Amino acid sequence: MLRGPLQVGDLLAGRYALLDPVATSGEAVLWRAQDDVLARAVAVRALPAGTKAARAGAEPFLAAAARASQVTHPGLVRVLDAGVDNRPGRAGDVAYLVREWVDGEPLDEHLARVGALSSLDAADVLRQLADALTAAHGGELVHGRVHPGNVLVCGNGRVRLTDAAVARAVHGTGPADVAGDTRDLAAVLYALLTCRWPAGATPQPAGKLQPAPEAHGHPLATHQVRAGVPLALDRVVSRGLDPARVPALPAVSTPAALADAADAATAAERQARAVPTAPAEPGWVLRHAARLAVAGVLLVAALVGWFAGLTVGELPRRPGGVDALTVPSASPGTSPLPAPLDLTRLLVRDFDPDGDGEENADQVRNAVDGDATTAWSTSRYRSAEFSGLKPGVGLLLDLGTVRTVRSVQVAFTLAGADVELRAATGSAPRAADDARVVARSSGRQVASLQPDAPVRARFLLLWLTSLPRDGDGYRVGVTGVRVS
């Protein structure tokens, strides 16, 4: 049983009800908790701060939490609140950090359970983590403690990085920098490929993973630990983790450079496996081949019927359904428009920078799952203008790289919403105004957002500025999105 000044059932800061102690890290205890104000699950990390020495030790923790709260990215677990809870008559005050609760399995436990990943899956996971770290570094936030225990594997096949800057503050480790994060990210790639942790090359903990075998004080190369690791990818690991192994090649000093090198090393294999259909979810999470095969057959049948219906005009379209979304026709004499993007593989998150930072985050995948019976919904407000609390809310789509966008269509549960399509090419927007408005739609149940000319963007923001009436309040749901 985890012990400390807090107990199950305690109410922290007057709103966070502690439900279960999840883990300890130094003197800090991580709790699963309930935010009684917003009625949502959260994670609370609590640290003793009842004595002068303890409070001094908690100050870097709170400062790190404040810095982390300023950086947002779909691959980073968001910090929602932090402070000191004064607890007279108990064991002492408590410094706390509140972050979103993520239903995910730590990567070290996942690898220990399912084994190493393929080179392509490992490169995909690396890219996700590199993008998250690049966003953190762009916000002048160094993680300082990148290891598989701080990577959460979510049920949708995505990974998210937690405890940026905070874990380092909890453990009282020294200064960190971008190069250190890059080295540790290379160590994570080593673990993805071998299911071992290169303890001799990084100070970060191994968690549930066994240490990598060593020779002359250095971890063996990945292809020496696990047969079949491509030599080109093995060299990428060495360039980030132990550059002395490959003196003829330049070291990599940023997460983006490491991911770019891994993409280049696996490009030929990816091309060889390419098929003319949309890629499936990462196989390292969704391993139920039979279920996927059945789902694939049903999906193909549905798509054949849908496209046939569009051709002969005999299949009715449901208002607000995914089947109401169509691909705009190309102008006469021009090339056909490209196929819509497969949004199920992209990072999509709720976007609420002017509110509490979250708008039904657990429903977001419903907007892009291709199922018209599910939806991401806004909260219910007293007026169409969000009860005067904020100018809008929305969904942020990360396309993974800068792409040409010609059209975006959005299917709503109700007509009457006003929506803007905003686009950004650099880092993920922190506010709506960080992305420029490229198209608008008002009042339609299926909104067609087509810029005057194709735009180049990596991030697309579907920004709702007005809501329709729904019963005794105002809200709307998004049942489908199409980007082409």
Q: Does residue 328 surpass a pLDDT of 50?
A: no
Q: Where are the domains of the chain?
A: 11-100, 104-273, 287-316, 319-483
- Superfamily of domain 11-100, CATH level 4: Phosphorylase Kinase; domain 1 (3.30.200.20)
For the segment 16-55, what is each residue's pLDDT rounded down to a tens digit?
999 999 988 777 899 999 999 988 999 999 988 766 667 7
442 with 412: CB under 8 angstroms? no
CA gap 249, 233 in Å, rounded = 13
448 is written with which tokens? 């067609």
Q: Is 297 helix (H, G, I), strand (E, B) or coil?
A: helix
Q: Note the pLDDT of residue 248.
A: 86
480 with 321: CB under 8 angstroms? yes
Q: Note the pLDDT of residue 4.
A: 53
Q: Does residue 3 surpass a pLDDT of 90?
A: no
Q: Note the pLDDT of residue 479.
A: 92
Q: Which long-range contacts (CB under 8 A, 24 or more apart) does 291-294 make?
A: none
Mean pLDDT of 404-430: 93
173 with 144: CB under 8 angstroms? yes
CA gap 323, 326 in Å, rounded = 8
| DSSP bridge pairs for 441 | 419
Confirm or reject CATH 1.10.510.10 for domain 104-273, answering yes or no.
yes
Q: Note the pLDDT of residue 54.
A: 72
Mean pLDDT of 70-88: 88
Output phi, psi for 279, to 5 deg.
-65, 150
For the segment 449-480, what is each residue's pLDDT rounded down to a tens digit?
999 999 999 999 999 999 999 888 899 999 99
Mean pLDDT of 334-359: 77
CA gap 178, 163 in Å, rounded = 16
User: Which secondary-structure segment (H or E) carries 376?
Assistant: strand 376-377
Mean pLDDT of 55-84: 90
pLDDT above 70 covers a percentage of the chain that reads: 83
The pTM is what? 0.60
| DSSP bridge pairs for 21 | 31
Averaged confidence pLDDT in the chain: 83
Q: Does residue 137 surpass a pLDDT of 60?
A: yes
Give burial (CB, 10 Å; 0-12/13-18/19+) of 143: buried
Q: Is 292 helix (H, G, I), strand (E, B) or coil?
A: helix
Q: Note the pLDDT of residue 340.
A: 80
The count of residues in the chain is 484
Kindly indicate the confidence band of residue 291, based on its pLDDT and cuts at 50, 70 and 90.
very low
Classify domain 319-483 at the CATH topology level. Jelly Rolls (2.60.120)
pLDDT above 90 covers a percentage of the chain that reads: 56
Mean pLDDT of 94-100: 93
